[in-house]
Chain A
């Protein structure tokens, strides 16, 4: 298979990751407490938090590789990137007013967008709105994440910590040289996220970003390894536990996404017995504190022949 060819198959994926004694995604509305669905007390991790980690992984794993620049990088300068596109495609356009609008000829503007797609991995994958002051068009990427949710309710804990130093002299005098802080952790949480790769947005002649099969492999690689390069005091131990990919034989797909997602089930296991999550039989079980307290099954019975299940590592 030509790995530089645009993706021709629709994909759906289920990503399981867990956190031990860490905060997978703080809620700015709640003093950086782990995000919670207030109705179910299940934990949440937003789509943008996951995409940030994918971007960071790609930047780390493919430095200086042509076509693998990251547009939305931390500390990046977006309009400098737009400028690069302009100077590569239309070196004569220098007036700011002209830069504000897309070129009149559709072909030129498409060329500009295509240049951005060719150079930036995250634009090929996720798309980008490049209309900030200096305009370089707007693209919709094939890769789409939804919010990750913990499979069971989580219990966020507040841990008070002390520091044996103070920031200012006034603090040092008032507090005897010590200050207190707080950390929020989830003792354990297994999260499940769903994602989609819409092949036409990669391979369509006009709308496609050119997201290639090699890019898709890199996406799987990033999803499997991204937490290994995102260590910090806040995160605790996070790791990808399972990635299950459904590959359709066609670009439009061969099965309903929900029927595929339903094939992946999470169970609680304890001392050799296994029950579905939420089953009353698990009511007096101790809470889950490790990956081994869960089991993930994939129902392969009656899977259409046109859908393939892949578990990349």
Chain B
């Protein structure tokens, strides 16, 4: 059961794990973020979404934004000694005293088409079948319904979405046609929660305006 979903927004931040302190976004939507968007519309433990292809519809452009964030974590050692003393003095984390100003290099004006399909998982019950979940997803996406508002990487960058009918053409794209192939390097594929939440990566290339995403069991994936 495959679906196509058009998603867009003013800003997006698909944080590169190697630059997560001062966040830097990947150039395009990652498969794991795309999966999160689909799951925000419809997901049950009986199904698992697989991303097949991500069409990039806008030129890749970045902007920087710096915000005040909470910086530190309290140490367990402090907590232990305070607990021995029987009070909570000194364990605390005072927001105003633990400021970190963090810059984020984010994408602006993004639009994608996510091509995806789902498979049934071992948790599927007798009443679950692919047609039911496909029609639920299509019905919700078409009516603009969602379980929670999908986002483009982080929650402050809300995503708008619209279902693309099976025979409908792709939305208008302003992504430059040349060069025909752009190598984006190694990109996060998804976090493998079954295996100790390890990250898996793939070699992302935009070919003719779209990133082909390998299947989850592909030998192209590296951890």
Contact = CB atoms under 8 A, between A and B. Distances in A.
A-B interaction: yes
Interface of A: 10, 27-29, 35, 37-39, 44, 46-48, 72-80, 83, 94-97, 99-100, 132-134, 140, 142, 144-147, 149, 194, 196, 198, 200-201, 250, 252-259
Contacts of A250: 145
Contact of B92 (A46, A77, A256): A77
Label chain B's interface by main secondary structure. mixed
A83 B88 contact: yes
A95 B146 CA distance: 42
A198 B144 CA distance: 13
A285 to B, nearest CB: 26
Contact of B91 (A29, A47, A134, A253): A134
B4 to A, nearest CB: 16
Contacts, number: 135
Contacts of B160: 256-258
Interface stretch (B49-57, B110-118, B148-156, B168-176): B148-156
Contacts of A133: 73-76, 78-79, 91, 93
Interface in B127-161: 140, 143-149, 151, 155-158, 160-161
A97 B76 contact: yes
A255 B143 contact: yes
A96 B88 CA distance: 12
B103 interface: yes
Given A39-B108, A83-B88, A96-B80, A254 B68 contact: no
A19 to B, nearest CB: 19
Interface residues of B, number: 46
Contacts of B155: 140, 144
Nearest to B73: A132
Given A72-B95, A79-B93, A80-B92, A134 B63 contact: no
B21 to A, nearest CB: 15
B149 A145 contact: no
Contacts of A78: 70, 74, 92-93, 95
A38 B63 CA distance: 8
B63 A28 contact: no
Given A39-B108, A134-B91, A256-B162, A28 B156 contact: no
